């Protein structure tokens, strides 16, 4: 059973502490109430400091030292890149030693960018400049408490509402996660709450600052940002104020456009859509909206199989939204029954414009993300798409609780809910994927490894370790992805044959402790064929008329038991471009290895530079087949274009065979 449904005694020291504080809060409130209400600002500051400290504790107790999920590690890499003043980096050769999950680039270029919008990585870059990136989240957590407090006071002019909102923010376990891991939702929540707080001040300066916040929010989470803009314009009373607000969106929109230009080659072309078009399928699978082909079968294959076999329509959207709400009910205040106070507050305060504003935010976030097919929820983070409006919901919840005279009960219940229920989800998060970050620099420090080439075997580990500014393995550490084929050798040669180490982490094995070992690589010989596993040419450099993504195969003849699956779209040939690096030395012929799919024959056209060749494979009764192409690429970096006319096809490897090995069987070696 999922940890979200577990109830029991506190599972760890943090949960026991929460239980003790819940009891102390309940017992101390009658005698402390008057003093607290007389010093609400001081109490709010103490709560903010406690929230920041608790988020920092979360980093060490539940994240165990660093970013954990792939999204968080990608934001980490993007922030490091922004701290160096760039949206993209030029990978060393071969580029496929650096390409991988959640990295994309323009089809006509060679640069790579992280696919996520740059608003949050920009603030996280401040942490890199200070040398402490993981301190940014706790500072955001403290800011969220202050914003929640100010929202409660500005909208309702009641100290009890303001202080209750601050207490709910400080005790919200979902916000402790989102201000500990390097995810964008804590920053998005701070921008959203800050924008609404500023528009409520009703003066030009505050309105302009609100617009800047909303623009930054669009550059952080575009869908959430659009909702924020709609709510702000709803609140602003005059067209003039609305004009100032809209004008202030420009810096954020421009910043987003610059990132999208670097990542895709086009202004305001979605970098995430661009990535999934090159890394997943079917074409158009990743989009905001409905359709029969919505749902990416590689990245989100389990979701597609379970829920989207007939596509994504209104019914599937309703089911997905319900699942998110089930998670979000726990996220709000660590105890689902407290969520019921939100609709109560919306009804009893409906005549108040402030209540309608907060209610629209709570309902609007559900509607805004309904057209997106991927649930996005997981233990600890909860319904992360809905976390963006938590400060507004805490203000609304505080209003309802004060109306019910149950603020004291609510704070104690929130702490109790985490101790007996919510902590299990966070403990589950701590234990997943090997239980620690997939790269730990302390391992290199203890081994006194300060220069050389380090090959990392996980996407998460690469994102955490890779520094685009480190390119000289004789002076510093250069990190790349371990491929286990000729890419490792060619990268080693291009770096001047430095010492090589393997950083390996196997999160789903019986022993998941990371290891760092020397990795000797032998120089090439003139008679040696060079084999490049095709699945590592992913995401594809350029693609049209279909999809390309890696697949695991059980076939014994498949090298590495993985292939690059090439799936043409209906009634259209697939054209895909892959990188090829040809070293100096003997003259090589290009050979392709294929694994049989549904059809017994395969027809394709290959193009390399100005040369074009038909390519046909007849498998007969064989599962795997290789064939020379008649193409002899010169030394250097190339793009191979493969146009698959019958499909799907499964490319196993690309091989460079020295001319002497094939010359006896060929009449001519002229390409």
Residue 476 within a domain: yes
Residue written as tokens 């909702």?
Answer: 227
3-state secondary structure of 576: strand
Same domain, residue pair 159 and 285: yes
Residue written as tokens 């929640």?
Answer: 148
- C-alpha 342, offset from chain centre: 30
Same domain, residue pair 119 and 264: yes
Ranges in the chain, pLDDT < 50:
1, 663-671
Q: Where are the alpha helices (DSSP H) in 448-553?
A: 459-465, 486-494
Same domain, residue pair 55 and 201: yes
User: What torsion do the CA atoms of 631, 635, 637, 639 make, to the nearest 10 degrees?
Assistant: -10
Question: Which among 652, 525, 651, 656 has a CA at the least distance from the CA of 580?
Answer: 656
CA-CA distance, 204 to 475, in Å (whole number)? 53
What is the predicted pLDDT for the residue at 661?
59
Point out the domain boundary residue: 377, 408, 432. Answer: 432
Same domain, residue pair 427 and 569: no
Same domain, residue pair 401 and 464: no
Same domain, residue pair 453 and 428: no
CA-CA distance, 102 to 373, in Å (whole number)? 18
Residue 74 within a domain: no
Structure tokens at 658: 């020295």
Point out the domain boundary residue: 487, 518, 549. Answer: 518
Residue 532 makes CB contacts below 8 A (sequence gap 6+) with 96, 485, 486, 487, 580, 653, 654, 655, 656
CA-CA distance, 310 to 293, in Å (whole number)? 8
Torsion-angle region of residue 627: left (phi > 0), alpha (psi -120 to 50) or beta?
beta
Torsion-angle region of residue 64: left (phi > 0), alpha (psi -120 to 50) or beta?
left
Residue 77 within a domain: no
Torsion-angle region of residue 362: left (phi > 0), alpha (psi -120 to 50) or beta?
alpha
CA-CA distance, 650 to 533, in Å (whole number)? 12
Q: Burial of 336 by CB count in 10 Å (0-12 exposed, 13-18 middle, 19+ buried)? A: middle
Same domain, residue pair 463 and 553: no
Residue 184 within a domain: yes
Same domain, residue pair 302 and 324: yes
3-state secondary structure of 652: strand
Neighbours of 117 (CB within 10 A): 28
Same domain, residue pair 12 and 127: yes
**CA distances to 212, 415, 483, 529, 664 from 560, in Å:** 50, 50, 10, 17, 30
Neighbours of 621 (CB within 10 A): 6
Residue written as tokens 């709400």?
Answer: 325
**Which residues face 24 on adjacent strands?**
none
Structure tokens at 569: 């779209």
Same domain, residue pair 229 and 335: yes
Q: What is the 3-state secondary structure (H, E, C) of 98-134?
A: CCCCCEECCCCCCCEEECCCCHHHHHHHHHHHHCCHH
HSE at residue 365, side-chain half, CA atoms within 13 A, is 27
Same domain, residue pair 251 and 188: yes
Structural domain for 636, as ranges: 530-665
Residue 89 within a domain: no
Residue written as tokens 């954990």?
Answer: 68
CA-CA distance, 204 to 219, in Å (whole number)? 23
Question: Which among 381, 507, 463 has a CA at the least distance from the CA of 75?
Answer: 463
3-state secondary structure of 420: helix
Structure tokens at 149: 């407090």
**DSSP state for residue 486 in the 8-state scheme:** H
Long-range contacts of 211-214 (CB under 8 A, 24+ apart): 211/244, 211/245, 211/246, 211/247, 211/248, 211/249, 212/248, 212/249, 212/251, 212/252, 214/245, 214/248, 214/249, 214/252
Residue written as tokens 């500005």?
Answer: 154
Q: What is the pLDDT of residues 253-266, one digit of tens each?
A: 999 999 999 999 99
Cβ-count burial 81-110 (b if 16+ within 10 Å, e if not): bbbeeebbbebbbbbbbbbbbbbbbbbeee
Residue 172 within a domain: yes
Same domain, residue pair 389 and 495: no
Question: Which among 652, 608, 645 has a CA at the least distance from the CA of 630?
Answer: 608
3-state secondary structure of 430: helix
**How many domains is the chain partitioned into structurally?**
3
Residue 223 within a domain: yes
What strands, in cross-sheet order, belong to the sheet with 636-644?
542-544, 574-582, 636-644, 601-608, 611-618
Point out the domain boundary residue: 518, 538, 565. Answer: 518
CA-CA distance, 490 to 467, in Å (whole number)? 20
Residue 110 within a domain: no
CATH number for the domain that contains residue 568:
2.60.120.260
């Amino acid at each position: 059973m999922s940890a979200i449904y577990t109830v029991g005694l506190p599972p760890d020291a943090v949960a026991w502490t929460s239980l003790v504080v819940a009891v102390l809060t309940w017992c101390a409130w009658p005698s402390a109430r008057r003093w607290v209400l007389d010093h609400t600002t001081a109490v709010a500051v103490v709560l903010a400091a406690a929230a920041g400290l608790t988020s920092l504790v979360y980093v060490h107790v539940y994240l165990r030292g660093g970013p954990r999920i792939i999204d968080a590690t990608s934001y980490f890499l993007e922030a490091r890149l922004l701290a160096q003043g760039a949206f993209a980096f030029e990978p060393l050769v071969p580029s496929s030693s650096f390409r991988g999950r959640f990295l994309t680039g323009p089809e006509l270029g060679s640069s790579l960018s992280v696919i996520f919008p740059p608003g949050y990585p920009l603030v996280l870059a401040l942490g890199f400049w200070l040398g402490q990136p993981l301190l940014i989240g706790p500072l955001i957590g403290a800011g969220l408490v202050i914003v929640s407090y100010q929202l409660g006071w500005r909208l309702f002019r009641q100290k009890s509402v303001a202080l209750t909102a601050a207490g709910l923010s400080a005790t919200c376990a979902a916000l402790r996660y989102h201000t500990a891991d390097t995810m964008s939702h804590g920053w998005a929540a701070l921008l959203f709450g800050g924008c609404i707080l500023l528009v409520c001040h009703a003066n030009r300066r505050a309105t302009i600052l609100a617009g800047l916040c909303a623009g930054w929010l669009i550059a952080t989470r575009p869908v959430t940002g659009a909702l924020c803009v709609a709510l702000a314009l709803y609140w602003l009373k005059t067209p003039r104020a609305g004009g100032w607000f809209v004008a202030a969106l420009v810096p954020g929109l421009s910043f987003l456009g610059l990132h999208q230009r670097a990542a895709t080659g086009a202004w305001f072309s979605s970098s995430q859509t661009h990535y999934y078009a090159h890394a997943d399928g079917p074409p158009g699978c990743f989009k905001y909206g409905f359709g029969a082909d919505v749902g990416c079968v590689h990245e989100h294959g389990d979701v597609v199989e379970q829920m989207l076999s007939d596509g994504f329509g209104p019914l599937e959207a309703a089911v997905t939204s319900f699942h998110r709400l089930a998670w979000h009910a726990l996220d709000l205040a660590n105890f689902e029954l407290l969520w019921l106070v939100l609709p109560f507050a919306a009804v009893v305060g409906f005549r108040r414009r402030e209540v309608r504003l907060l209610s629209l935010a709570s309902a609007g976030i559900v509607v805004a993300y309904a057209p997106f097919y991927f649930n996005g929820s997981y233990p600890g983070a909860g319904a992360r798409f809905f976390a963006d409006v938590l400060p507004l919901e805490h203000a609304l919840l505080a209003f309802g609780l004060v109306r019910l005279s149950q603020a004291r009960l609510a704070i104690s219940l929130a702490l109790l809910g985490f101790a007996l229920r919510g902590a299990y989800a966070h403990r589950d998060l701590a234990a997943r994927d090997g239980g620690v970050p997939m790269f730990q620099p302390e391992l290199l420090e203890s081994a006194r490894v300060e220069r050389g080439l380090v090959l990392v075997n996980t996407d998460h580990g690469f994102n955490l370790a890779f520094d685009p500014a480190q390119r000289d393995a004789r002076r510093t550490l250069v990190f790349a992805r371990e491929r286990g084929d000729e890419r490792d050798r060619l990268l080693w040669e291009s770096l001047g044959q430095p010492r090589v180490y393997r950083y390996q982490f196997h999160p789903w094995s019986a022993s998941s402790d990371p290891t760092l070992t020397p990795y000797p690589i032998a120089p090439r010989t003139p008679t040696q064929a060079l084999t490049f596993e095709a699945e590592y040419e992913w995401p594809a450099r350029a693609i049209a008329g279909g999809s390309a993504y890696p697949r695991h195969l059980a076939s014994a003849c498949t090298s590495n038991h993985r292939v690059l699956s090439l799936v043409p779209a209906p009634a259209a040939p697939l054209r895909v471009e892959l990188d090829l690096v040809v070293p100096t030395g003997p003259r090589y012929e290009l050979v392709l290895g294929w694994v049989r799919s549904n059809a017994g024959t395969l027809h394709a056209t290959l193009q390399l530079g100005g040369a074009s060749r038909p390519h046909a494979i007849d498998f007969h009764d064989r599962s795997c087949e290789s064939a020379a192409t008649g193409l002899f690429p010169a030394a250097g970096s190339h793009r191979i274009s493969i146009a698959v006319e019958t499909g799907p096809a499964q490319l196993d490897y690309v091989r460079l065979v020295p001319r002497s090995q094939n010359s006896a069987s060929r009449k001519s070696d002229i390409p």
